[in-house]
Chains A and B, each alone.
Chain A
Amino acid sequence: MNRIFASLLFIFIGVFAADIKTAVITTANTATTADTATSATVADIKTDTTANPAIIEQQFSFTIKTSNPDSTFAKIINTAESKGGYFNNYTANYLTLRIPVAALSDIQKSITESGKLEDKSFSSEDNSAEFEQLNFQIESRKKLLETYFDLVKNAPFAELQSVEREMTNLNAEIERLQGKKQAMEKRAALAIVAVYIYRQEVIVPPVKFEHSPFEWINKTDLNNLKGDF
């Protein structure tokens, strides 16, 4: 029994030492960079697609003026949904979307063509280091789990329960870390696009209205027609 506990203790120390080492070595650039640039475009964003892909959360913001906010929002949402995105917040003057990174240039074009562009900004957060750390943590726990499987085969009956309990806890922890990793990947795959809209009032030049002497001509009017229903 003492030998089994000693083995377990030795393995624990080995695994968590590896975790601490990776945390110290990996210097993450996790600071948020807010870069407001009127000339920033989607094409400026480059994603590293090599063996260790960068996990970057991107956020875009646009302010446009249009005479019909509802119709403009409908067009933008249609474009987003046709490209595999969706909206997750929608008020009279504000819309947020989650858009696949590959479709960002299409949605930007749709937004800028929908009204007069007043302002735009971009920010990003690089979570690559934290993602890599998660990978290491998951791998190390999986290795530990394999070791437990081996121990279970030869463990005395009295020790079996405690080993199984440790395995259950370890499984739960692996699942938690994998969930966190998947959430991070999803946040990087779908950029946040926020659209603010201001209603552009139609400027009507002063009209010299002439009252016609004929009743049917005076009453032929769009407001009169709508008021009659």
Chain B
Amino acid sequence: MKYIVLCFLFLTSCATFHAVKPDGFAEYTDNTKTEFRAISPDGMLYRVTEYEQESQATAEFWRGAFLLKMKNANYKVEDTLNIQVGGKPSIGYLFSYAGNVEESLYMVVAVPLKKKVIVAEATGTAEQWQIRKSDVVKAVSEIDLN
């Protein structure tokens, strides 16, 4: 009985994802099983977060719901990103924000799973994004989904 409980606890404590930092970034030391953060020397931010999501829906549903909220929150789609994460298709976009005078770009790549959603985000200026885009996209594609 003790061993069954221990196995159950072990399985439920496993992280859904394992993320790596993009090349040139530094990983935060207080990352948790559900949140991974890294930062570049010039201030570009990278985060991977796991959210509980009980509702089940198709990828197209999530795409529509996500884009509607971003449009209403005054984000503008600058680019569509087609990235496979752990062999699964993702919902990926690069946004700019009308209210941001620092001209930051905001990347979001979401992977809906059975009862969770893994969301990878990054933000930086247009110049930083041009320099570090390939490293960030590579890191997103290398997220390991357990």
Contacts and interface: CB of A to CB of B under 8 A. Distances in A.
A68 B98 CA distance: 14
Given A214-B65, A217-B69, A225 B101 contact: no
A138 B108 CA distance: 73
Identify the interface centre among A216, A218, A221: most chain B CB within 10 Å of its CB: A216
A86 to B, nearest CB: 24
Contacts of A204: 74, 98-99
Given A210-B69, A221-B73, A216 B53 contact: yes
A207 interface: yes
Given A202-B99, A209-B73, A220-B110, A228 B119 contact: no
Interface stretch (B9-17, B44-52, B136-144): B44-52
B25 to A, nearest CB: 12
8 contacts: A71-B103, A204-B99, A208-B72, A217-B66, A220-B121, A222-B100, A226-B45, A228-B37
Interface in B65-117: 65-66, 68-70, 72-75, 95, 97-104, 106, 108, 110, 117
Interface residues of A, number: 24
Given A225-B121, A226-B123, A220 B72 contact: no
Given A67-B101, A229-B39, A212 B51 contact: no
B29 interface: no
Contacts of A208: 72
A215 interface: yes
Interface of B: 35, 37, 39, 45, 47, 49, 51-53, 55, 65-66, 68-70, 72-75, 95, 97-104, 106, 108, 110, 117, 119, 121, 123
B106 A209 contact: no
Contacts of A67: 101
Given A215-B51, A216-B117, A222 B68 contact: no
B90 to A, nearest CB: 13
Identify the interface centre among A207, A209, A220, A229: most chain B CB within 10 Å of its CB: A220
Given A226-B45, A229-B37, A216 B100 contact: no
A218 B99 CA distance: 18
**Interface residues of A, dominant DSSP:** loop
A216 B35 CA distance: 13
Contacts of B65: 212, 214, 217
Contacts of B104: 222
A66 to B, nearest CB: 10
B36 to A, nearest CB: 11
Contacts of B101: 67-68, 202
Contacts of B37: 228-229
B102 A222 contact: no
Given A207-B73, A210-B72, A212-B65, A68 B102 contact: yes
A4 to B, nearest CB: 76
A216 B115 CA distance: 12
Contact of A219 (B51, B70, B98): B51
Contacts of B121: 220, 225
B44 to A, nearest CB: 10
Contacts of A71: 103
B110 A216 contact: yes
Interface in A40-65: none
Given A68-B101, A214-B65, 19 more contacts: A202-B98, A207-B74, A208-B72, A209-B72, A210-B69, A212-B65, A212-B69, A214-B55, A216-B49, A216-B110, A218-B69, A220-B69, A221-B73, A222-B95, A225-B45, A225-B123, A228-B35, A229-B37, A229-B45
